[in-house]
Structure 1
Amino acid sequence: MTPLLAFITKEWLEAARTGKIIILTLLFVMFGIMNPAIAKLMPWMMEILSNTMAENGLMVTDIQVDAMTSWTQFFKNIPMALIAFVLIFSDIFTKEYKSGTLLLVLTKGLSRYKVVLAKTMLLLSLWTVGYGLCFAITYGYNAYFWDNDIANNLFVSAALWWLFGVWVICLMILLSSLLQNNTGVILCVGGTMLAAYALSIIPKAKAYSPTVLMNANSLLTGAEGIDAYAHAIAIAALLCIACVAASIPIVNKRQL
């Protein structure tokens, strides 16, 4: 077994031992089930509320739900899963700095850049599997209850949101390698997201903000094509590479 593979295995076992993988799995499964469940229960919930609303002079019409309703819930709920992911793994480097365990690994001959690559590969693998699991569960329930064909560009929309998550994770890796504690990492990730969102408000700069990748509804309804996201895709991909690449010299110069 190569040192890189051995370190990835060690990181995975540690994540499993501390319960992080179980928590992530439960979260992604829960959100995957929740999306069609909310859509299915929505007419019943509105019927319960209709009596109260009628007393206030408001009329509630019949609500028709379909797979599009469930997919709308999917893209509303998946940000919470990403937030949970960041909260759980924001200490990916800061904990190593505090405990000194990284020094033990380096003394066994593993290069520092391989440490960065190993941690990146692990986190992106966990995000990909978790996100894919959530998507597959929602897709399966939607296919059973309704018809997924109503959603345009479904897999492209899902891929765009996956890429957004990859960018956030790469940013988290950079900040965790740079800062002293995970609280600072969380705050800086949140601040960067706000800055990117503020950029998307500017009409001329909107197409270049990675947060545009979160807007899947326009693709699902067919209001926009994939071309509208080309700049955001390119910027997000470049930022992912830049974040990981910048993490390597930071870790190389870090005093352990």
Structure 2
Amino acid sequence: MKSLLTFIAKEWLEAARTGKIIILALLFVLFGIMNPAIAKLTPWMMEILSNTMAESGLVVTDIQVDAMTSWTQFFKNIPMALIAFVLIFSDIFTKEYKSGTLLLVLTKGLSRYKVVLAKTMLLLSLWTVGYGICFAITYGYNAYFWDNSIANDLFLSAALWWLFGVWAICLMILFSALLQNNTGVILCVGGTVLVAYVLSIIPKVKAYSPTMLMNANSLLTGAKGIDAYAQAIVIATFLCMACVAASIPIVNKRQL
């Protein structure tokens, strides 16, 4: 356990030295501020555009915004934060293969499975903290300007998207352990999510697809209950564990 915690601390320090944590923190803070800001500025922007649109024969009515408008914006922006996260950390294993630093760590007695677990725990902790910061900032501004109680099952809705992000990160761990370069990792993660999304078009498959977790707005507005997401939650959790479990033998057999 001590060696595992030591390696996790080493990974944290490396991510901090390379500026990845700072970039990530700034992105999540920015997105957290943008959600209520865009909602708050929407009536003002539409008022500015109303004169121009009136010349084209279009009439713009008064737009009412509330906390729901901001939370809708939150779920529109968080995919961009997840994409940025994957782009930043897609080299979680590939950089080790290229530089040979992983071999140095293993010669000091650290088991390969602990390397996989340490890197997984690092990414999941960064995603959880970053996502939590973004959510907390949006929640605070929404509470100040409006009323968060208008949103149904707010924390459950946020948890659904958090779990989807965990699944994407576990995919990144798997493909980063398997492939040689981070470009391939990005393409494979994106391709897998795309395939899951396309399959979700099939009515009988939709409820089981992890991409169902992206549709948190339906829970937020009360259009669906949490029961509608039960199968997707179970499948996504299983796939997360399967990806990490599959990464261990891949790294064990890897020639370094």
Q: TM-score, normalised by structure 1?
A: 0.99
Deviations 1:159-203 (A, max 9, x none): 000000000000000000000100000011111111010011111
* Distance across 1 between alignment mates of 2:5 and 2:146: 43
The equivalent residue for 1:121 is 121
Aligned residue runs from structure 1 range 22-171, under 5 A: 22-171=22-171
Deviating beyond 2 angstroms after TM superposition, the runs of 4 or more aligned structure 1 residues are none
Counterpart code for 2:180: Q
Q: How far 1:234 sits from its partner (Å)? A: 0.3
* Distance across 1 between alignment mates of 2:216 and 2:65: 18
* Distance across 2 between alignment mates of 1:216 and 1:208: 15
The equivalent residue for 1:20 is 20
* Distance across 2 between alignment mates of 1:160 and 1:193: 15
Q: How far 1:155 sits from its partner (Å)? A: 0.2
The equivalent residue for 2:185 is 185
Deviations 1:81-121 (A, max 9, x none): 00000000000000000000000000010000000000000
The equivalent residue for 1:198 is 198
The equivalent residue for 1:231 is 231
Deviations 1:133-172 (A, max 9, x none): 0000000000000000000010000000000000000000
Counterpart code for 2:64: Q
Q: How far 1:77 sits from its partner (Å)? A: 0.1
* Distance across 2 between alignment mates of 1:235 and 1:193: 14
Q: TM-score, normalised by structure 2?
A: 0.99
* Distance across 1 between alignment mates of 2:202 and 2:131: 30
Counterpart code for 2:31: F
Q: How far 1:216 sits from its partner (Å)? A: 1.1
* Distance across 2 between alignment mates of 1:158 and 1:217: 10
* Distance across 2 between alignment mates of 1:171 and 1:21: 20
SS at match of 1:208: coil
Q: How far 1:223 sits from its partner (Å)? A: 0.6
Structure 1 residue runs of 5 or longer lacking an equivalent are none
Number of matched residues?
256
* Distance across 2 between alignment mates of 1:50 and 1:213: 36
Counterpart code for 1:171: L
Q: How far 1:2 sits from its partner (Å)? A: 1.2
* Distance across 1 between alignment mates of 2:248 and 2:216: 33
Q: How far 1:204 sits from its partner (Å)? A: 0.8
CA RMSD of aligned residues (A): 0.6
* Distance across 1 between alignment mates of 2:165 and 2:64: 31
SS at match of 2:207: helix
* Distance across 2 between alignment mates of 1:50 and 1:196: 41
The equivalent residue for 2:243 is 243
Q: How far 1:230 sits from its partner (Å)? A: 0.3
Q: How far 1:15 sits from its partner (Å)? A: 0.1
SS at match of 2:32: helix
